């Protein structure tokens, strides 16, 4: 290694150091501590006692854990495909050469810039059973409005729909970047070969968008499993009848409302495990995100 | 720029940032902190500003007489009730010296060793001065760990306009659950809104539901500490709230975003099961006509209601636990006339509550605090027979909450829900270590 290379490496390390220190102190260390805490009973007042695997045994016997796991699974299963489809659809729309496309792009992205707490309050007002604009509009059309936030049959779906409204703009931008990387010549060639819009999408857009799709799928799943707390906290507080009690909300409840920090850590480790398995699976399916376009 | 390179500027910036992380210096003589949720905010209503001023004047009175000073710290109410701020502060050893605590949270803090014994600062006379049902939920083994600042019983509020529109009068005021459902149905049939029971899961919903459990003859735990939740009384109370929602006379969410001023003034509610504090909230709302009656009971049941209210507590691991305990006694447990008057002011001037001490109640009555129709009803008809909010450990609270939610909004079988909650409470009690409840 010559002096020039060594200097460059040192410079690179120095530039990376602040980020790495931040990651270690604020992410890796708390994660490790959380995994360790799962083996203790921690009362939040300085009392700490080693309990081995008791917290995990308790989890198995805790019906609320299974309810929350089921709710989280349903949330992810509905949210991720819906978010994927909506954001891809929006990206395809705003890629078109139409007047004032910038306004549409901004409008779709705007909800993502608003605080989730504000979004939650806004939707709570709009969906309120008695004075909400949405139930009033439905009633005006002669459609009986359900209790969007008070009926367990609708509450989780409502949270999913609001999450799509908030996040679709963000993933739209990612898809848009992916779409703009696809050379125009490919579409031109497809058009000369007689391909219509659907065929062009299947033969050109979809295969070339695979790396972006992989990224969106991975990050939106992680966001779905670990997120959703703010919205649930503001909209439903986990209700009605635990129908929106996501695992992340239950973790919060155990830690901060019940003072069971050890048990909450054990619950968190399940979230980490689920995400780890999902990420490995996705990496395996997609060969670590490296796609062969020849298979398309 | 001469003499001050970019490196210097960056270095100074980093130094400033690092020093800011440490927060204000907290020496041994630093003032004690008192965390509560009555912030001075000019945009609030007049009575909310009065509540904030009451705290400021209380602390000023203490600070003028004592070497150990106190400063008020305001926590937004939502963050205080279910947020992470208070638990995080205690978990990191940075909890407040004095704070407000509700019975629902009492055991968690007591069992964690966070509550200072206030008894040495209270005379026997003062302890006996507290009304029944107020100190019990803050006492362990005869020692007092919290002093209530108010008594807040639950009752049924009704809209006089809605009653009149439905052809109902004071003679139709229901006394039993069946009559209550009947009145609510008549109101709905006349195009009015129905009756509201709290719908959001949490400590407050449990608190609002207990009167129905108790008046049916049930309880969460037996005197020996075992679970008593799987009982016909529990099933009856769960079924009543379920029937109210199922039949469409009770909504699944709270009207007017849980704001009674909006709900009553816009005709969004006819009957609402709420606490005495609602009187103050409705006081300055024009054109709102309402009345109050005691929570109805089931056929053959006996009347009761639940008593809420916050208490001052001192942190046993704070900077100066003895001074903090002394402050609690100074504020609410002193025989000094100005201390008693302070309780009176809180309960009848800046809020509408019932004073927790007999001496303060007598003064409040003498000063006209219970002359208005609704306040007279609260004192004469609602308060007698009331019971203090039970202090349950979180797992038991959650089991009760799940049973209410599952039946009321999830349509679950009340018997199955009561049994499931009973099993959860019983399993938990086998390993529970802490104060009795």
Query: What tokens does A212 get?
Result: 């972006």
Is residue A15 a part of any domain in this protein? no
Short-list A123, A133, A201, CA closest to A155: A123
Between chains, do B253 and A150 touch, taking CB under 8 Å as contact? yes
pLDDT of residue B213: 98
pLDDT at A290: 66
What pLDDT score was predicted for residue B10?
46
**Residue B400 C-beta-side C-alpha neighbours within 13 Å:** 29
Tokens of B213: 């459990």
Q: In the prediction, which pLDDT does B8 show?
A: 53
- Flag whether residue B113 sits within 8 Å of chain A, measured between CB atoms: yes
In angstroms, the separation between the Cα of residue B185 and the nearest Cα of chain A is 18
Residues 6+ apart with CB under 8 A from B78: none
Residues (pLDDT < 70) of chain A are: 1, 288-296
Evaluate whether A224 touches A80 at the Cβ level (below 8 Å). yes
B409 closest CB neighbour out of A45, A152, A258? A152
Domains B32-151+309-387 and B154-307+392-431 share a fold: yes
Q: Residue A283: its pLDDT value, please?
A: 82
Tell me: pLDDT of B256 over 80: yes
Average pLDDT (B346-363) is 96
Confidence (pLDDT) at B437: 82
Q: What residues does each domain of chain B span?
A: 32-151+309-387, 154-307+392-431
Contact between B257 and A125 using a beta-carbon 8 Å cutoff: yes
Cis peptide before A82 (omega within 30 of 0): no
Relative to beta strand B195-196, strand B139-140 is unpaired
Q: What is the pLDDT of residue B369?
A: 94
Of B93, B201, B408, the CB nearest to A237: B201
Residue appearing with tokens 């599952």? B406
Chain A environment of B104 (Cβ under 8 Å): none
> Helix H segments across B301-386?
321-332, 337-344, 358-366, 373-377
pLDDT at position A2, please? Answer: 83
Residue A34 lies in a domain: no
Q: How far is A147 from chain B (nearest CA, A)?
A: 7
| B355-405: pLDDT as tens digits | 999 999 999 999 999 998 899 999 999 999 999 988 898 889 999 999 999
**Is B268 an 8 Å CB contact of chain A?**
yes
First-to-final CA distance of chain B: 70
Pick the CATH number of B154-307+392-431 from 3.40.50.1100, 3.90.1150.10, 3.40.50.920, 3.40.190.10: 3.40.190.10
Give the residue from chain B lying closest to A46, CA to CA.
B91
Q: How many residues does chain A have?
A: 296
Q: Is residue A22 part of a domain?
A: no
Query: Under CATH, to which class is B32-151+309-387 assigned?
Result: alpha beta
Structural domain includes residue A23: no
The confidence score (pLDDT) of residue A289 equals 62
Angle at B116 between CA B115 and CA B119, to 5 degrees: 125
This prediction has a pTM of 0.89
Inform me whether the pLDDT recorded for B2 exceeds 60.
no
Mean pLDDT of B146-162: 96
CA B12/CA B21 separation, integer angstroms = 14
C-alpha to C-alpha distance for B428 and B396, rounded to whole angstroms: 8
Taking the C-alpha atoms of residue A214 and residue A204, their distance in angstroms, rounded to an integer, is 16
How many domains does the structure of chain A reveal?
Answer: 1
Residue B14 in this model has a pLDDT that exceeds 80 = no
Q: Is B267 on the interface with A (CB under 8 A)?
A: no
Q: Find the mean pLDDT for residues B297-320.
A: 95
Q: Mind spelling out the 3-state secondary structure of A163-174?
A: HHHHHHHHHHHH
The predicted model gives B404-429 an average pLDDT of 96
Using DSSP, state whether B127 is helix, strand or coil: helix
Decide the pairing of beta strands B311-314 and B290-293. Answer: unpaired
pLDDT for the residue numbered B9: 47
Inspect the interface and report whether the beta carbons of A259 and B108 lie closer than 8 Å. Answer: yes
Which chain B residues have a beta carbon less than 8 Å from that of A253? Answer: 398
CB atoms within 10 A of CB A128: 24
| Mean predicted confidence (pLDDT) in B258-280 | 95
State the pLDDT at residue A125: 92
What single string gives the DSSP state of each residue in B146-181?
-EE--BEEEEEEEEHHHHHHTT--GGG---BHHHHH
Cα separation of B189 and B168, whole Å?
Answer: 12
Q: B395 — contact with chain A (CB < 8 Å)? A: yes
Between B42 and B54, where is the model more confident?
Answer: B54
Q: Give A60's contacts (C-beta < 8 A, 6+ positions apart).
A: none
CA-nearest of B366, B180, B196 to B268 is: B196
β A48-50/B139-140 pair status: unpaired
Provide the shortest C-alpha distance from residue B152 to chain A (in Å).
23
Could you report the per-residue pLDDT of B54-100, keeping only the tens digit for each? 999 999 999 999 999 999 999 998 889 878 899 999 988 999 999 99
DSSP lists the bridge partners of residue B354 as B151
pLDDT of residue B270: 96
Q: Does B199 contact A242 at a Cβ distance shorter than 8 Å?
A: no
pLDDT of B17 reads 45
The answer to whether A152 contacts B410, with C-beta atoms less than 8 Å apart, is yes
At residue B12, does pLDDT exceed 70? no
Tens of pLDDT, residues B192-228 = 999 999 999 999 999 999 999 999 999 999 988 899 9
pLDDT for the residue numbered A209: 93
A241 at B interface, C-beta within 8 A = yes
Residue B44 has pLDDT above 90, yes or no: no
Residue A239's CATH number: 1.10.3720.10
**Beta-strand relationship, B98-101 and B139-140:** unpaired
**What beta strand segments (E) does B122-253 contain?**
139-140, 143-144, 147-148, 152-159, 195-196
Mark yes or no for CB contact B253/A149 under 8 Å. yes
Sign of CA dihedral A37, A42, A44, A48: negative
Answer yes or no: is A35 within a domain: no
Question: For residue B280, what pLDDT is reported?
Answer: 93
B-contacting residues in A 96-125 (Cβ below 8 Å): 124-125
CA distances from A19 to A23, A25, B8 (A): 6, 10, 22
Q: Which two tokens stand for residue B19?
A: 């020093």
Indicate the helix (H) or strand (E) that contains A274: helix A261-285
Res B19 pLDDT > 80: no
Tokens encoding B41: 């905010």
The residues, any chain, with a CB within 8 Å of residue A46's CB and separated by 6 or more, are B93, B112, B113, B317
Q: How open is the CA angle A35-A39-A40, to the nearest 5 degrees? A: 115
Q: Find the domain containing A163 and state its range.
A: 42-287
The answer to whether residue A278 sits within a structural domain is yes
Interhelix angle for B46-65 vs B321-332, to 10°?
120
Residue A17 lies in a domain: no
């Amino acid at each position: 290694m010559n002096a020039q290379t060594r200097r460059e490496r040192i410079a690179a390390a120095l530039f990376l150091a602040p980020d790495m220190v931040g990651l270690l102190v604020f992410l890796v260390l708390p994660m490790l501590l959380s995994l360790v805490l799962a083996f203790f009973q921690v009362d939040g007042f300085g009392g700490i006692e080693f309990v081995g695997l008791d917290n995990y045994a308790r989890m198995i016997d805790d019906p609320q854990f299974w309810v929350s796991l089921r709710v989280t699974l349903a949330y992810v299963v509905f949210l991720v495909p819906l978010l994927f489809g909506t954001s891809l659809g929006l990206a395809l729309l705003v890629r078109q050469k139409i007047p004032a496309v910038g306004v549409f792009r901004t409008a779709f992205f705007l909800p993502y810039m608003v605080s989730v707490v504000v979004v939650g309050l806004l939707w709570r007002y709009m969906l309120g059973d008695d004075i909400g604009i949405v139930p009033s509009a439905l009633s005006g059309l002669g459609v009986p409005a359900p209790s969007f936030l008070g009926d367990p049959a609708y509450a989780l779906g409502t949270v999913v729909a609001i999450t799509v409204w908030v996040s679709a703009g963000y993933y739209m931008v990612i898809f848009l970047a992916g779409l703009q990387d696809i050379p125009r010549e490919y579409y031109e060639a497809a058009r000369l070969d007689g391909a219509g819009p659907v065929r062009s999408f299947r033969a050109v857009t979809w295969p070339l968008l695979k790396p972006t799709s992989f990224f969106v799928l991975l990050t939106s799943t992680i966001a779905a499993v670990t997120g959703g707390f703010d919205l649930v906290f503001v909209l439903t507080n986990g209700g009605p009848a635990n129908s929106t009690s996501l695992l992340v909300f239950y973790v919060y409840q155990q830690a901060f409302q019940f003072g069971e920090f050890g048990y909450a850590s054990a619950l968190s480790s399940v979230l980490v495990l689920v995400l780890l398995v999902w990420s490995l699976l996705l990496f395996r399916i997609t060969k670590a995100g490296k796609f062969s376009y020849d298979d398309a | 720029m001469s003499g001050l390179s970019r490196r210097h500027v960056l270095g100074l910036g980093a130094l400033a940032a690092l020093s800011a992380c440490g927060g204000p210096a907290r020496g041994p003589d630093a003032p004690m902190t008192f965390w509560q949720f009555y912030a001075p905010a000019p945009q609030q209503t007049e009575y909310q500003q009065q509540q904030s001023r009451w705290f400021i004047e209380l602390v000023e009175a203490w600070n003028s007489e004592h070497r150990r000073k106190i400063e008020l710290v305001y926590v937004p109410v939502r963050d205080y009730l279910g947020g992470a701020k208070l638990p995080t502060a205690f978990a990191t050893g940075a909890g407040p010296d004095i704070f407000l605590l509700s019975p629902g949270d009492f055991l968690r803090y007591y069992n964690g060793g966070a509550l200072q014994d206030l008894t040495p600062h209270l005379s026997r006379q003062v302890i006996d001065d507290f009304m029944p049902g107020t100190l019990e939920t803050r006492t362990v083994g005869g020692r007092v760990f919290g002093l209530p600042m108010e008594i807040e019983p639950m009752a049924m509020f009704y809209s006089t306009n809605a009653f009149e529109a439905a052809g109902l009068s004071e003679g139709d005021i229901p006394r039993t659950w069946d009559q209550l459902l009947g009145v609510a149905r008549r109101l709905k049939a006349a195009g009015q809104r129905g009756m509201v029971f709290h719908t959001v899961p949490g400590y407050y919903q449990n608190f609002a539901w207990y009167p129905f459990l108790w008046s049916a003859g049930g309880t969460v735990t037996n005197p020996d500490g075992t679970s008593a939740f799987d009982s016909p009384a529990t099933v009856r109370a769960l079924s009543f709230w379920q029937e109210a929602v199922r039949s469409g006379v009770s909504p699944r969410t709270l009207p007017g975003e849980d704001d009674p001023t909006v709900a009553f003034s816009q005709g969004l509610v006819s009957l609402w099961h709420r606490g005495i504090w609602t009187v103050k909230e409705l006081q300055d709302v024009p054109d709102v006509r309402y009345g109050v009656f005691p929570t109805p009971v089931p056929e053959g049941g006996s009347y009761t209601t639940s008593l809420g209210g916050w208490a001052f507590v001192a942190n046993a691991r704070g900077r100066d636990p003895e001074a903090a305990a002394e402050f609690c006694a100074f504020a609410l447990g002193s025989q000094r006339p100005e201390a008693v008057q302070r309780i009176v002011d809180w309960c009848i001037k800046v809020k509408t509550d019932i004073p927790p001490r007999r001496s303060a109640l007598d003064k409040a009555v003498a000063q006209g605090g219970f002359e208005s129709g609704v306040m007279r009803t609260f004192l004469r008809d609602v308060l007698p027979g009331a019971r203090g909010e039970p202090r349950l450990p979180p797992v038991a609270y959650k089991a009760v909450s799940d049973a209410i939610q599952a039946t009321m909004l999830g349509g679950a079988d009340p018997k199955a829900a009561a049994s499931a909650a009973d099993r959860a409470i019983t399993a938990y009690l086998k390993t529970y270590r802490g104060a009795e409840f």
